[in-house]
Structure 1
Amino acid sequence: MNGHNDPVVLTDPDASDRFGAALAKLVVPGDVITLAGPLGAGKTSIVRGLLAALGLAGEAPSPSFAIVQPYAPPDTILPVLHVDLYRIDDPNEIAELGLDDAAAEQLTIVEWPERAPAGYWPDALALTLSFTADGGRALTALVPAPWRARWPLK
């Protein structure tokens, strides 16, 4: 896997929402997107923008407490599994979540992917957010083969 691109600068939460909405135009069932970065970096803002662009009315809750939040038509145009692994302490707990059960038919979005074993999602579009000196966010992407024809965002 290669494809580190120059960082995308997200200046504010609206920019994160717009990035998520642009990303929604590229996704297909079977895709996995991982979002890594510190608390408050904007992972959930990107997911909310993506889900809104996929048709979700209202604001998507962060699945920090539930860990897994599913969405399905007619609420979204394709099935989505929004996963937040922040509260996972033991990587073995991830297998119990059943994330692979319908992976080919849905979009899987994973926040805090570093809580999973290394290489758990080998074909994921791996997005990493970090803070910039001016208070914005820098987003870098590790682009796997299944995403290369669709990346970078236009």
Structure 2
Amino acid sequence: MPLDLNLPDEAATRRLGEALAAGVAPGRVLFVCGDLGSGKTTLVRGLLRGLGHAGRVKSPTYTLVEPYTLSRLMLYHFDFYRFKDRSEWISSGFREYFNPESVCVVEWPERAGDLLAPADL
């Protein structure tokens, strides 16, 4: 069941991401949904900060995936906004990233249709 939150500002969105970090473990899949500019990447920035990442966090809008090596896990931040249909996900080779050793955070998961693993959050 989706969780629908309306946060007041960017700082609150980052704080929520930081708080969510406590529940992140290898093998987890998180879907982040919302309109363009709604704070999806800001939430992921907070999540990564909460997991100990001190470096830059950029949107994967053009790269499709941004990998982050953290002390206890590998996190992949995806953005499927540019996918026109689910066949693009099939040909992308991203399936191997969704495994028990990594965490996958996906913006615009609906663009991959039912091909993605179910979300844990």
Q: Report the TM range for the smaller structure's normalisation.
A: 0.7 to 0.9
Superposition pairs of residues 3-152 of structure 1, within 5 angstroms: 3=1, 7-74=4-71, 77-102=72-97, 103-118=99-114, 120-122=116-118, 124-126=119-121
Contact 2:33 2:109 (8 Å CA) reproduced? yes
Q: Which stretches in structure 1 are left out of the alignment for 5+ residues?
A: 127-154
Greater strand share, structure number: 1
Q: Distance in 1 between matches of 2:53 and 2:81?
A: 23
Aligned counterparts of 1:44 and 1:63: Cα–Cα separation in 2: 9
TM-score (norm 1): 0.70
Q: Under a length normalisation based on structure 2, what TM-score does the superposition of the two structures give?
A: 0.88
Q: Which whole-Å deviations, capped at 9, do the CAs of 1:17-67 have from their partners, x for residues lacking one?
A: 011001111011000000111101111110000011112113301010100
Q: Looking at secondary structure, tell me which structure has more helix per residue.
A: 2
**Whose radius of gyration is greater, 1 or 2?**
1
Give 1:4 shift.
Answer: 5.2
CA contact (8 A) 1:54 1:78 kept: no
Q: What is the aligned-residue RMSD (CA, Å)?
A: 1.8
The answer to whether the Cα contact below 8 Å between 2:28 and 2:102 also exists between their aligned partners in 1 is yes
Q: What is the percent sequence identity of the aligned residues?
A: 42
Residue in structure 2 matched with residue 135 of structure 1 by the alignment: none
